[in-house]
Amino acid sequence: MRCPFCAHDDSQVKDSRPAEDGGAIRRRRQCSSCGARFTTFERTQLREVTVVKSGDHREAFDRSKIEQSVALACRKRGVTQDQIDQLVSGIQRQVETTGESEIPSSRIGELVMAGLSLIDSASPASIATSARRRTSRSSPAPCRMRPRTVGRTIEQCPSGPT
């Protein structure tokens, strides 16, 4: 395993134990070159899953994206990292056991929302709000100025954002 600090290719496993209810193995490693310690996780991957996004854009399923979104939704909510890890592992298992090689991103979103509602009732609302903000930023902002009459012409919204 390559050291994340000095990029040396050799490291020794100092400690190994099960994590995430036996769904992963947590390993503490030490670099033989610089002596730095770091943690790695070994997880079972059942199959390669491709996520189909809007506009038919495709990308490989990435567990860390779900983990970041869930952590963001649960921040300041009293949800432990262990609960987040269990939720993300459950979602990953569901995605990989569907038997399909492609899954729509909307289906993953549904799984995340369902899982969040079991952990914390306010977290799904937090994710939905941030998702709405992201989509509204990508579309042009509506003009909030009313047309007004100046002389005999009507001024419309300027072309730039208001």
pLDDT tens by residue, 142-157: 544 444 445 555 544 4
**Sequence spans of domains, the chain:** 1-44, 46-138
Percent of the chain with pLDDT over 70: 73
The answer to whether the predicted template modeling score (pTM) of the entire model surpasses 0.75 is: no
Residue of higher predicted confidence among 78 and 51: 51
DSSP string, 58-69: EEE--HHHHHHH
Note every long-range contact of 96-99, with CB atoms under 8 Å and residues 24 or more positions apart, other chains counting: 96/45, 96/46, 96/47, 96/49, 96/61, 97/46
- The tens digit of pLDDT for each residue in 85-94 reads 889 989 988 9
The shares of helix, strand and coil residues in the chain, as percent rounded to the nearest 5, are 40, 25, 40
Average pLDDT estimate for 2-24? 89
